[in-house]
């Protein structure tokens, strides 16, 4: 694993940490590529059932893209940089395992775009979140306009992107931008407890849920319902489904093996 991304396993939970604290974990090309490799590795590792993403230090989750590195890009290079970030973030949201963003500080620009690709987001009460690209004469390039629209709706998405002002964690929770807000002191423990609970669920069922919700968000209702029914049927072919229903009938805790 690249030193830009630290990886640590806690049981079936893999914690990935963006490790550029001197740059507030800002995203440059090398960091995006290292994240892509880290998520590919987590997806391929059968021992990993959930992933937590965070930033090193106490100040920032990811404070944005590396502006110093971006400032010299040509128009063609900037488009390529955008596509690189979009490929990574598409990879993250299509992960077959749940990904939880542990937002421990600033999540701005590319950092918020990174968090929005995670399936769940828990923020410290001290966190600040926003898409300030307009203040640089730019607009979000890693999918921020599209995912923000889908998460918080048109009015809030326009407010956050046109004004560029960050919001605090409480406002982010009101908007539906994050799932939970906890005190900074409790953030790690609360996030790891949630991730451990996810890791204890049936992996194939979670994969079906992630796929169904992702597909349903991008198609019409009838197509989404048909896809859900197909995934529901496939679940009955798994050992986990038999174990889960048997455990329910026998009034015991199920032991899922991902088969």
- Catalytic residue, chosen from 3, 33, 113, 243, is 113
- Residue 239 falls in the annotated catalytic set: no
Longest dimension (CA), the chain: 64
By the 8 A CB rule, do 2 and 18 touch? no
H helices of the chain, in order, are 29-44, 67-70, 75-93, 110-117, 144-152, 154-163, 169-175, 187-199, 203-216, 221-235, 239-250
Bridge partners (DSSP) listed for residue 14: 9, 51
Set 133, 174, 228, 250: catalytic member: 133
Is 159 among the catalytic positions? no
Q: Please tell me the distance from the alpha carbon of residue 52 to that of residue 115, in angstroms, as a whole number.
A: 11
User: What's the token pair of residue 169?
Assistant: 């964690």
Angle of CA points 167, 168, 170, to nearest 5°: 120
Contact 115, 61 (CB under 8 A): yes
Q: What backbone torsions phi and psi does residue 18 show, to the nearest 5 degrees?
A: -70, 125
Decide the pairing of beta strands 128-130 and 167-168. antiparallel
Q: Which residues are catalytic?
A: 113, 133
């Amino acid at each position: 694993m690249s030193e830009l991304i630290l990886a640590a396993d806690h049981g079936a939970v893999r914690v990935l940490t963006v490790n550029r604290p001197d740059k507030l974990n800002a995203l440059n090309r090398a960091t995006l590529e290292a994240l892509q490799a880290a998520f590919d590795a987590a997806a391929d590792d059968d021992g990993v059932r959930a992933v937590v993403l965070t930033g090193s230090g106490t100040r920032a989750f990811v404070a944005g893209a590396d502006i110093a590195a971006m400032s010299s890009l040509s128009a063609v290079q900037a488009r390529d940089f955008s596509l690189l970030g979009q490929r990574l973030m598409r990879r993250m949201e299509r992960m077959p395992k749940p990904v939880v963003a542990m937002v421990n500080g600033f999540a701005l620009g590319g950092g918020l775009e990174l968090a929005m690709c995670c399936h769940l987001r828990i923020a410290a009460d001290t966190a600040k979140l926003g898409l300030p690209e307009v203040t640089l004469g730019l607009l979000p390039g890693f999918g921020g306009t599209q995912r923000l629209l889908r998460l918080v709706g048109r009015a809030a998405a326009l407010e956050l992107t046109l004004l560029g002002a960050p919001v605090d964690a409480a406002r982010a929770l009101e908007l539906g931008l994050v799932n939970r807000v906890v005190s900074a002191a409790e953030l790690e423990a609360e996030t790891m407890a949630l991730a451990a609970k996810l890791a204890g669920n049936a992996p194939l069922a979670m994969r079906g849920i992630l796929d169904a919700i992702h597909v349903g968000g991008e198609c019409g209702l009838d197509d989404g319902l048909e896809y859900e029914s197909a995934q529901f049927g496939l679940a009955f072919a798994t050992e986990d489904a038999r174990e889960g229903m048997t455990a329910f009938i026998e009034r015991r805790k199920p032991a899922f093996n991902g088969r």
